[in-house]
Amino acid sequence: MFDFDATLPLMAVQFLILMALLNAVFFKPLSKALDERDNYIRQNYKDAEDRLAKTQELASQYERELAQTRKAAQEIVIAAQNEAQERSNQKIAEAQREAQQAREKAAAEIEQQKQEAMQSLEGQVSALSRQMLEKLLGADWVNS
């Protein structure tokens, strides 16, 4: 079946030399390039994950700060609204006091004018009554 002559060991030696030559020239550099590329990809992936984590941390920090800022702004707006409401209430109360004082002053003036008119009317009524009596009874009888 097989002939085991000198060509078989020579072929085996040639095969081993070819394997050593291919290993030194092709497989080791290819292996090294693949390892370097694998390391490069892993490092970039790790850097990307680190950057993503840092970005997420910064985003959450900014969101917290934004929420605090919004809360502070809302508190300022509420305080300003309350202050404006207080001022408005004070102005309304002051206006109501002034209106009440004006009403009271007007009522006092009206009352004074009423009293003056009543006194004037009483004087006029007396004079008219006297004149009527003088005309009806005569001037001599009323003076006596």
How do residues 95-120 score in pLDDT, each as one tens digit?
Answer: 999 999 999 999 999 999 999 988 88
Q: If you count them, how many residues does the chain have?
A: 144
45-54 per-position pLDDT tens digit: 999 999 999 9
Going 35 to 39 to 44 to 45, the CA torsion angle's sign is positive
pTM as predicted: 0.47
Residues sharing a CB contact under 8 Å with residue 142, sequence separation 6 or more, in sequence order: 130, 133, 134
